Amino acid sequence: MTMWKGRLSGWATGEDRRREFEEVALVHLGAIYRSALRLTNNRAEAEDLTQDTCLRAFRGFHRFDPGTNCRAWLFTILRNAFRDRLRRRHHELLDTESADWDGETPSVTSEGMARHPEEEFFLTALPGDVDRALRALPLPFREVVMLSDLEQLSYKEIAEVVGCPIGTVMSRLSRGRALLRQALGRFAREQGYVKESP
């Protein structure tokens, strides 16, 4: 018995295709929306981007290979849709930006490297702190941390979504996590939960 999709998708009506799309892809709507929110930092724009992503995915659904990760495929579409928007608004810095960042990063202090055992923000972080910290990360780091730690993609899948080698995913991830941790430590101090290091 083969999966009916493989045999019949060529004949299936638009309605069948839609139903299949809902079953396979639209179950990830929450993940798309959350990621859109993290990319745009704006609810209205995130909703718009989510719609755009879903429609693009539906139109290109025949190109989706059922043996692969549908979420990763959707993230790729989301990322492209997002970048198209930025480009339309003349944010041409995108690619050069990420290239620079692989060489030089916003500095990570020893605190970001988590050498101190007193990181207690795990216990005191307020709801929304992680998203706030994430929003402060430059895009190339934000997307990698988001895909790995919040959406649980593998390095290989992230490399495919982001279109870079696995080695780059690793280095962005380790810097991104360090920066995120640093920001969370800062919030905790601002909120008075964690004392300044002596």
Shortest distance, CB of residue 104 to other proteins, whole angstroms?
18
**Given the complex with other proteins, which of 24 and 94 has the nearer CB atom?**
24
Instruction: Give residue for tokens 């659904």.
Output: 61
Shortest distance, CB of residue 190 to other proteins, whole angstroms?
18
C-alpha span between 153 and 146 (Å, rounded): 9
**Given the complex with other proteins, which of 26 and 161 has the nearer CB atom?**
26
Shortest distance, CB of residue 195 to other proteins, whole angstroms?
19
DSSP state of 148: I
Query: SS3 of 1, please?
Result: coil
Instruction: Give residue for tokens 């929450």.
Output: 30
- Burial class of 151 by CB neighbour count within 10 A (0 to 12, 13 to 18, 19+): buried
**Tokens in use for 22?**
């809902």
Binding site for other proteins (CB under 8 A): 1-4, 6, 8, 10-18, 21-22, 24, 26-34, 37, 47, 50-51, 54-55, 58-59, 66-71, 114, 117, 119, 122, 125, 127, 130-131, 148-150, 152, 154-157, 170, 173-174, 177, 180-181
